[in-house]
Every structure is written in C-alpha cells, then in structure tokens.
Amino acid sequence: MAQDSQYTEDNIRSLDWKEHIRMRPGMYIGKLGDGSSADDGIYILLKEVLDNSIDEFVMGAGKTIEVSIQGTKVIVRDYGRGIPLGKVVDVVSKMNTGGKYDSRAFKKSVGLNGVGTKAVNALSTYFRVESTRDGQSSSAEFATGELTGKEFLEETSRRRGTKVTFIPDETIFKNFKFRMEYVAKMLRNYVYLNPGLTIIFNGEKFFSENGLKDLLEDNNNKEDMLYPIIHLKGDDIEVAITHSKTQYSEEYHSFVNGQHTTQGGTHQAAFREAIVKTVRDFYGKSYEASDIRKSIISAISIKVMEPVFESQTKTKLGSTDMGGDLPTVRTYVNDFIGRYLDNYLHKNPETAEKLQRKILQAERERKELSGIRKLAKERAKKASLHNKKLRDCRIHLGDTKKERRLETTLFITEGDSASGSITKSRDVNTQAVFSLRGKPLNSYSMSKKIVYENEEFNLLQAALNIEESMEDLRYNNIVIATDADVDGMHIRLLLITFFLQFFPELIKEGHLYILQTPLFRVRNKKETIYCYSEAEKLAAIEKLSGKPEITRFKGLGEISPDEFKHFIGDDIRLDPVMLDRETSIEELLQFYMGKNTPDRQEFIINNLKVELDLIEDK
C-alpha cells in the first residue's frame, strides 16, 4: 500500500509578484516564442512599455517617443510628465500600483491592470527606469525583478519624461531575436492611431497626419482600390473603408484605445454588421451580407472606458459597453456608421455607384459558384469525416482552454511519411497536421472557382475556415513544412502563390511561416548537434572533434518522431512569410509565377552567382 503523501503547512507557499510572473509568464504576456511571430512575448514586453508612453501623449504630454533596439537591448524614451519621483520603484515593482487606476489622470488608457511594466521588469535580466521632472531625476535598476541599484534625487537639465531600458531574459525567451519588420509595424500602428505623434525608431521617423486613412494607403496598392478611401471620424471612433478590385475575402484592422485587437471582438463584429445594414438601407436592397463585404479593406478604432479584453494580451475586445453615459458598443458603432457612412454615400454618388457595381458583381459570382460551393462543402465535410488529411488538435475538439487558441498551429506537409512523423511528435493540444497529396496547382491568374474545384485547395480552405473572412481563422499559425529539396521548395512556392492569390491578408497579418528543419545531424557518443546550414555543420564537426557521425537529412520523413519533437517544440525555428510594404502582389506573382520565363532565368542566374560568392567567401 502506497504511503500517504504529507500535506502540511510546509506545503503552503506564497509567491511574491516577480516569482509568480516568472513561473507563469503566459498569464501575463501570452505565448513566449523566439520573435518569429508578431505576438511573441518579446514584442508584448515592448508594447507594455510603449503603452505607458502613448498614454502620456494621449493626455497631452510629450509628442515624441524614441525607440532603440540594438541586439537584445531595448530603450524607450518619452517626453511625457515623467513618473512621480518618489514612486519610480513602486510603479515598476509593486503590483496594482499605477496612475491608471485614477480615471482623472487616464480616462481611456490601454493598460488598466497595473501589471505591464512589472511583467517587463520580472522577465528581464536587466531593467532600468529613469524619470525626469521639475529639474530633478530618479532612477532604479533591477535584475529579474530584484532591485539592484537605486539613484536618489539629483538635479538635472534633461527634458522631462521617462526612459526605460530592458534586456529580455534568454532563459525564458530562448534563442530570441527581434525582427525589425514586426517592431516597425507596431510603431506604425501607434502613429496611425495617434496623429501628431512622432516615433523615432533606430533613427527612422514614423508619423501620420491622416490616421487610419494612412494605414490603408500604406498597406495596400492604391491601384487596387475600387474607390477613394472613405474616412470617417467621431469623438470616440474612427473608421476607414474601401474595397479591393482583386482581393476575395474581407480584411479588417481593429483597435481599442490604441491596442491592436488582432482577434477582433465586439467592436469589429458591430462594424461588420453596421456596414451591411447601412448599405442595405442606402440602396433599398436586401443584398447578401457576404456580397456587401466581399473584398472590403477597412479599419476601425474606438475608445472605451475601462475596456474588458478576453485575454491578458488584449487581442480581442469582450466589452459590450462604451462606458460612462454612452450606449453599448454595438449601438454606438451602428449609429455612427448608419449616420456618417450614409451621408458620405449621398454626397459621393460616384463612390456609391462603384460600390453597388461591386456588390452586384459579387452577387453574380456567388450565384455562379453556388452549385460548385455546395458540392465542395459536401466533399470537405465528407473528407473530414472519412480521411486523414487533417489531424486536428484538441483545442478544436473542445478539450482545452479557449485562451490557448493563439497557440494553435497547422502544419502543411507533403506526403504521408512527413505528416506521419509530425503527427506522432506534435503537441496534440495545439498542433494540427494537414497532408498534401502531390504538388498543388499553380493558381496564379485563376479565379476563385479553382479553390472549390481543386480537392487540395478546397479541403485546405475548409480546414482553415477562411472562405469569407479571416475573423474565424481556426489556426493562428500556418506552417509550410516541406522537404529542403527542389520538390519541397516548389511545393512551398505553389502554396505561397495560393495564399497570395486568394487570401493575401493571411500573409499581411503574419499568420504564414516556413518550418526550418535541420539539414545535418552531427554526433558522437556523448553529444548530438543538429545543423541547419553547411556553416553550422562545420562548426559542429570542429566542436565534437575526431570523426563524428554525420547524417544528411534528405526529407522530413527520414527524421524520427523522437527527433522531430525537438524541431516543432520549444526549439522550433520558423521563418515568417512577409510582404514588403512597397511590393505589389500582382507584380510579385506575375514575375515569379507568370509566363516571363527569360526574365526569371536571368534573375535566378544573377542571384545564384551571389549565393556562390557568399559560400566561397566563407
């Protein structure tokens, strides 16, 4: 008989604030990650510090914020009012301490929980805060939340404001790297939402005069816009709307109190509803909602008193009320859109005419595709029941908590052997596998009809749940996992073409990745090193000395499930698929996937020469 385990007073333990944050970082900053995803923890740390500086600007204190990232070291300097000098230590190290609890000082701020900078402090190996105001300054330094040095008041001629410096803890954020593209996008969103604010990032200036109108213009090709952007502003709301000439699905950028709500929420749902109602009323026609919203590109920002989000990282608004004497979020958004969008369409008949033509075109296409779509949905439903193309994760089977949806990943693999290895080694709670059969079609210049007629595309679309909108995307991360050979590269290219052609916002919003798997395994009796390049292989051989065993992995199917756990677990290496802001999707696809073979051959030859030169230099 097993001995009873002892349960005494010695088993009861109280964690202090920093211990709790370090033990359960996900509760405070969501997933950790290595910086390959825009919602990884290192960016949340930066955002938490920036939010305080943004709140200063909102309150009319300080028009410039300076951000510097050099390697792993981050510095944020604002010119706001500065933290009260006697509270510098408390504000960054005592839970539930901050000015945002006083509604007189911060009426519609982003951070309301008094946790933000404390989490940054606890999760950084080095953290320094310095406040300057009234000709005096005070600063404090910490290591993983422990106070290591405090400067008392001193006279200074420096401008008022707050300066925060931190280095994320590499024992928590393993092998992390800041990707400047993600940081730049975050900073651009801040200036779009705060016209008049200047952010200087590593010497580059970010500034916006026209708010959300600039956001749509900067993120989309002007030639692809069906009509000039409709830009409407109220006291606590701002929207920008246009439709794409070529894009198929809906695209939304939504914000609450300056926070980018990537998962939408009550305000975005109300916005989608309000657009449909207003358009129907304006034209006096009961158009289908999907026809009205097809190809829409839009943005909405609202300000809410004490917003309630569905997670600590504030990616989805749960509030139903605006706060104070204002009505519900749904009523407020509906009333605003109903009045101002209707007025705009009356005053701009040319835009109204173009919009109606677009709706009628969408209606015709929907009716033409109705039979095909019905058969495609039946095939997708049947396939999900009877074949093994999709091995889903438990989150979608209702076995895990809703908060973990941001961690969901779908691996798209080639062939049964690769999908079998990943399936056996994956985290069944959050990771799903979709197995391709053969090479996908080159979908460039094809119509949406091909998505329903082609079995692979149809089942992939159904698995992702992205037929009409990204709002119900089932997996936060879509990872192309193909072999590191010519066929694998070709399949990767064809899949990226498919997403660019029909669902570009999936790439624009940072959901698509390439899985990096090792090319070599170098090992002796004591140690095994996995290498992702020729250079890493040479370094591993030198480190292990002697004559270590070297294995060249030709395909994912050759990697055993036990080994694969390393490559899709905590040490996963993902390369995000990103679009350059200056790049036209149509021009990109035409060059790489069109019929201009001689131009591509010249491009390949020139770039191959560059690669060979780099190898020779090494």
CB atoms within 10 A of CB 595: 10
Q: Are residues 575 and 533 in the same domain?
A: no
Residue 128 lies in a domain: yes
* pLDDT, tens digit, 9 for 90 and up, residues 367-410: 888 888 787 777 777 666 556 688 888 876 654 445 567 788 99
Residue 614 lies in a domain: no
**Buried b or exposed e, range 507-518, using 16+ CB within 10 angstroms:** bbbbbbbbbbbb
- Report pLDDT for 264: 85
- Report pLDDT for 311: 65
Residue 5 lies in a domain: no
Q: Are residues 294 and 441 in the same domain?
A: no
Strand order across the beta sheet in which 204-207 lies: 146-155, 136-143, 124-133, 161-168, 73-78, 64-70, 198-201, 204-207
Residue 442 lies in a domain: yes
Query: Residue 76 belongs to a domain with what CATH number?
Result: 3.30.565.10
Q: Are residues 227 and 325 in the same domain?
A: yes
Query: Residue 510 belongs to a domain with what CATH number?
Result: 3.40.50.670
Give the CA-trace dihedral at 162, 167, 169, 173, to 10 degrees. Answer: 100
Of the chain, the percentage scoring pLDDT greater than 70 comes to: 88
Q: How many domains does the chain have?
A: 4
Q: Are residues 337 and 411 in the same domain?
A: no
- Report pLDDT for 6: 57
Residue 295 lies in a domain: yes
Given a cut of 60, is residue 97 above it in pLDDT?
no
* pLDDT, tens digit, 9 for 90 and up, residues 68-77: 999 999 999 9
Q: What are phi and psi of 440, to 5 degrees?
A: -70, 165
Of 158, 186, 207, which residue constitutes the final position of a domain? 207
Average of per-residue pLDDT across 193-218: 94
Q: 54-63, 180-189, 602-611: which range is least confident on average?
A: 602-611
Q: Are residues 173 and 127 in the same domain?
A: yes
Instruction: Give start and end residues of each alpha helix (H) in 123-211.
Output: 180-193
Judge contact between 263 and 314, C-beta under 8 A: no
Residue 173 lies in a domain: yes
Q: 126-140, 368-382, 419-433, 520-534: which range is least confident on average?
A: 368-382
| 4: its two tokens | 């009873």
- Report pLDDT for 445: 83
Residue 560 lies in a domain: yes
Of 207, 229, 245, which residue constitutes the final position of a domain? 207
Q: Are residues 355 and 228 in the same domain?
A: yes
Q: Are residues 261 and 357 in the same domain?
A: yes
* pLDDT, tens digit, 9 for 90 and up, residues 266-313: 899 999 999 999 999 999 999 999 999 999 999 999 988 877 777 666
Q: Are residues 168 and 287 in the same domain?
A: no
**This prediction's pTM:** 0.83
CB atoms within 10 A of CB 143: 15
Q: 324-333, 489-498, 558-567, 578-587: which range is least confident on average?
A: 578-587
| 396: its two tokens | 């979608």
User: Which region, left, alpha or beta, applies to residue 319 given φ > 0 means left and ψ of -120 to 50 means alpha?
Assistant: beta
Distances in whole angstroms, Cα of residue 512 to Cα of each of 49, 84, 489, 497: 27, 44, 15, 12
Structure confidence at residue 196 as a pLDDT band (50, 70, 90): very high
Q: Are residues 546 and 562 in the same domain?
A: no
* pLDDT, tens digit, 9 for 90 and up, residues 301-311: 998 887 777 76
Q: Of 282, 280, 281, 299, which Cα lies nearest the Cα of 290? A: 280
Radius of gyration of the chain (CA): 26
Q: Of 112, 120, 52, 119, which Cα lies nearest the Cα of 309? A: 112
Range of the domain at 218: 212-365
Residue 320 lies in a domain: yes
Q: What are phi and psi of 317, to 5 degrees?
A: -80, 130
d(CA 229, CA 216): 8
Q: Are residues 453 and 529 in the same domain?
A: no
Q: Are residues 358 and 482 in the same domain?
A: no
Q: Are residues 187 and 240 in the same domain?
A: no
C-alpha count within 13 angstroms, C-beta hemisphere, residue 115: 17
